[in-house]
Chains A and B, each alone.
Chain A
Amino acid sequence: MIINSEHLKELENEAIYVIRETAAQFEKKVILFSGGKDSIVLVHLAKKAFWPARMPFSLLHIDTGHNFEEALSFRDNLARETGVELIVRYVEDSIRKGRVAEEQGINASRNKAQSVTLLDAIEELRIDAAIGGGRRDEEKARAKERFFSHRNEFGQWDPKNQRPELWNIFNGKKHMGEHFRVFPISNWTELDVWQYIMSEKIELPSLYYSHKRKIFNRNGVYLAWAPFMKLRPEEKVFEAEVRCRTVGDITCTGLTLSKADTLEEIVAEIAATRITERGGRYDDKRSEAAMEDRKKEGYF
C-alpha cells in the first residue's frame, strides 16, 4: 500500500504547531496518557516539536485499575525513555474517598468515574492545559470540538457556547480555576494515525497486534475476560486471535477478531473496515448522546 506522505506531513505540521502553542500559552501542561495509540502518537509529536530539548509536559494517566497489563508496562517504559515525569491518579482512590460511587451490575465500568478523578487531579496539580488525543472523526460530539477547548471552573464543557476558532489563532485566555483541553490531532482520522505510526515506525503495545486471548461476546461486542468481569449465564469465555483497535479500560474495550500482526496488515485492515473505531466501544453504546454527556461533565 502506498502512503501519501504529503497529507500526513500537513497533519504533522498542524499538530506540532498546536503543541507548541500549548507550551507557549499555558503554565502547567500535561499530556493525558492512556497507553492508547493516539496518546502514544501525541508523545511522539511532542518529542519532535521540542527537539533537541525535552518536552515541557508531564504525562498524566488516570488509572481505572482495570488496565491491560501490557499497556501499563508500555507506559512506564515510554516515560523512562522520554525522561518526562509520569503522574498517575487512581479511580480506586476517588471511590475510597467517596468522591464517586462504583457502578454496580453486569455492565459496571469505571469509565465514567474517570472524569471525577481527572478533574480532581487537574485541581490538585493546578493543571491549566491537558493535551488529549481526541479526534473529530471518532464520534459526533467530538466532531464539534475545538483545538483549544475551554473548561469552566467546574471542568465542564459548554458545547453550545464555544469560542470561535479562526485560522490558526488559538485563544487560551482564561480566568483562575478554569482550564483548557487541547486536541492537536483533531483533524486526523483513524487511518491517518495508523499510516503515521507506520511511516514514523512508532512502537506500540503488543495489544494492537494479533494475539491469543480469552474473550466473550456481549451484545455483539467481543470483550476481554478478566477476573473482575461479571458474566451473564449465557456468556461463554473462549480463546481467540484478537487485537485491539482502541485501547482503554478492559471493561469497555471492544476487541477485533484479527490475524493482523504487522503494521502493514493493520493499515490494510483499517482501510477496508466497514465499522467505525468506536463501534466497538462499550461506553458509547449507552445512549445517543453518551459521549456529549460525559464530555460536558469533564471526560476526555
Chain B
Amino acid sequence: MAINGKNRYKSLLRFTTAGSVDDGKSTLIGRLLYDSKSIFEDQLVHISESSRRLGKDEMDLSLLTDGLRAEREQGITIDVAYRYFATPARKFIIADTPGHLQYTRNMVTGASTADLAVILIDARKGVLEQTLRHSYIASLLDIRHIVFCVNKMDMVNFSSEVFFTIKTRLEKLAGQLAIPDPHYIPISAKYGDNVVEKSSAMPWYQGKTLLHLLETINIPVSKNSCFPRLPVQTIIRPLNDEYHDYRGYAGRITGGTFKTGDEITALPSMFKSKIKTIEAGGKQLSEAGAGESVSVTLCDEIDISRGDLIVHTSNIPKSSRELTAMICWFNEKNLRNGGRYLLRNHSNETACIVKSTDFRLNINTLEKEPSVEEIKMNDIAGIKIITAKTVFYDSYKDNNVTGSFILIDESTNETVAAGMIN
C-alpha cells in the first residue's frame, strides 16, 4: 500500500452492517470474527453456555454482539456496538447497527463514521423496502463503497438465476442513488460460502469473497481530499521561558493538505497569515493532511480562538446565516418548527432557529412528502435553519466535517438531530 501522497489507502477500514436479525446479520459478523480467528476461546465457552441457558440448540453468535442485559433478554440489538478484528492485510472496525425501521437513528450514527457499508439481502425475499432504506441512508451519509451481500443462497439451491435477478434490481437502485462503488456477492453466512472461503457450491460466481474484498478494496485515507480546513479545537500556550511566545492552534485537519509557508485565512476574522510551523506531538512536519491531529503556528499574531477555521486563502468555504440541510431526527420530543436549538459543526457553536421544515422523506419509497406538520424520531427531513452568527461550511458531499452538524436541545442538553448541509 502506498504511504505517501494523495494515493494513500486506509489500513484501518471502518464499516457498518445493515440488515435485520432475520437477514442473518449477526451470523455474518459472527462468521467474519470466527473465521478470521478473532473470537477467543473464553468468549466461545461463554457464548455456548449462554446459548444453552437461553434454550437454544445451536451456538448463537449474536450473543457476542448484544452486550447489554436488556438486549440479551429481548434478543434485540438496541444500540450501535463496535467490533474489532484484524487480518494480516488490514484492521477492521465494525459498527454493528440494528436494522429495524425504528432504529434509523442508530443506522445514521453507525454510518457517520463508516468508509463502507455491508447491506444484507435475503435471497428468498429479494430487494425489500428495508433494502431501499439501508441503501438510502448509506448514500445520504455519503458512504461511497457499498457491498450488497445476497445472503441465504443455501436456501435457494445456490441458484445463479436468483442472484442475478436480485443483482439487476440492486444495480438499478445503485444507479438511482448514484452510489459510486457498488459490489454484489452471493453468500451463505450460515455455512460460510463466499464470506471468507470461496464457495464450491457457486462456481458461477467469479468475484471476490466478502473478506477478500474488504481486505483489498481501495479506500483513500480521507474522502475530503480537496478542501484544506483546520478547525481549531484549542490554543496551546506553554507560557514558559523556552516557548515564551509560542501560540499553537491545535486541531485535526479535516480536508486537504497544509504545508509550512502556505497562505492561510482565519475565519470568521478573515485575517491572513502564513504557516510558520506544523507540529505533531513535538515532531516538526513540513506538511500534514486530512485526519492528522496537529498544532500549527503562524507568522503573524492574529486573533484565533476555538471554533474558528484555518483555511487556504485560495479556497475559502461558503458562509451564510441560513442553511439548507437534510436532518435525521433523534429525539422522542418532535422537532419544533420555529424552535430554538444549539447548532454545533466541528468545534463551532451557535444558536439557531428552525425556519421551515420543507419535506419529510418517505424512507420506504424515497418520495418527498411536502407540508409536514411534525418531524418525529427517526424521520429524515429537509429543513432550513437560521443561525445567530455566520457559519462557515462546505457542502457535506465536499467535506463531511465542515458540512455536518448536530442540533442540541438547550433544555435537556441532548443531541436531537444530525444534519448534512446541502
Contact = CB atoms under 8 A, between A and B. Distances in A.
Contacts of A141: 67-68
Chain B CB count within 10 A is highest, among A6, A50, A137, A143, for A143
Contacts of A171: 344, 406, 408, 413-415
B72 A21 contact: no
Interface string B78-91: 11111110100001
Given A13-B291, A20-B251, A52-B238, A274 B40 contact: yes
Given A11-B12, A173-B408, A275-B40, A52 B68 contact: no
A75 B234 CA distance: 28
Contacts of B105: 164
A275 B112 contact: no
Interface stretch (A27-35, A108-116, A155-163, A207-215): A155-163
Contact of B404 (A48, A139, A166, A275): A166
A186 B82 CA distance: 9
A54 interface: yes
A18 to B, nearest CB: 9
Contacts of B70: 160
A276 interface: yes
Contact of A279 (B40, B243, B418): B40
B234 A143 contact: no
Nearest to A53: B238
Nearest to A7: B12
A178 to B, nearest CB: 9
Interface in A64-87: none
A289 B65 CA distance: 14
A13 B234 contact: no
A128 to B, nearest CB: 13
A54 B238 contact: yes
B109 A288 contact: no
A229 interface: no
A296 B79 CA distance: 16
Contact of B42 (A16, A53, A276, A292): A276
A140 B66 CA distance: 7
B236 interface: yes
Contact of A143 (B1, B67, B408, B418): B67
B142 to A, nearest CB: 11
B50 interface: yes
Chain B CB count within 10 A is highest, among A53, A165, A174, for A53
Contact of A166 (B280, B281, B415): B415
A46 B344 CA distance: 24
A219 interface: no
Interface string A140-181: 111110000000000000011011111111010111000000
A136 interface: yes
Given A174-B413, A175-B413, A288-B72, A48 B251 contact: no
Contacts of B239: 53
Chain A CB count within 10 A is highest, among B106, B281, B330, for B281
A168 B238 contact: no
- What is the interface of chain B mostly: helix, strand, loop, or mixed? mixed
Contact of A140 (B67, B237, B251, B306): B67
Chain A CB count within 10 A is highest, among B11, B72, B279, for B11
A17 interface: yes
Chain B CB count within 10 A is highest, among A21, A54, A141, A144, for A144
Chain B CB count within 10 A is highest, among A17, A48, A162, A173, for A173
Interface in A16-60: 16-17, 20-21, 23-24, 47-54
Interface in A233-288: 273-276, 279, 288
Contacts of B346: 169
B48 to A, nearest CB: 13
B112 A167 contact: yes
Given A20-B233, A166-B415, A167-B113, A187 B93 contact: yes
Nearest to A45: B281
B79 to A, nearest CB: 5
Chain B CB count within 10 A is highest, among A4, A164, A187, A288, for A164
A164 B330 contact: yes
12 contacts: A10-B12, A48-B282, A49-B293, A51-B236, A140-B65, A140-B81, A143-B83, A159-B79, A166-B404, A166-B418, A274-B40, A276-B42
List the 8 shortest-distance A-B pairs measured between CB atoms, nearest first: A48-B281, A140-B67, A173-B413, A279-B42, A7-B12, A53-B238, A16-B293, A6-B11
Interface of A: 4, 6-7, 10-14, 16-17, 20-21, 23-24, 47-54, 136-137, 139-144, 159-160, 162-169, 171, 173-175, 186-187, 189, 191-192, 273-276, 279, 288-289, 292
Given A24-B306, A189-B86, A292-B67, 10 more contacts: A10-B12, A17-B293, A48-B280, A53-B239, A136-B82, A159-B79, A162-B79, A164-B330, A166-B109, A167-B401
Interface of B: 1, 3, 10-12, 40-43, 50, 64-70, 72, 78-84, 86, 91, 93, 105-106, 108-109, 112-113, 233-234, 236-240, 242-243, 246, 248, 250-252, 279-282, 291-293, 295, 306, 330, 342, 344-347, 400-401, 404-406, 408, 413-415, 418
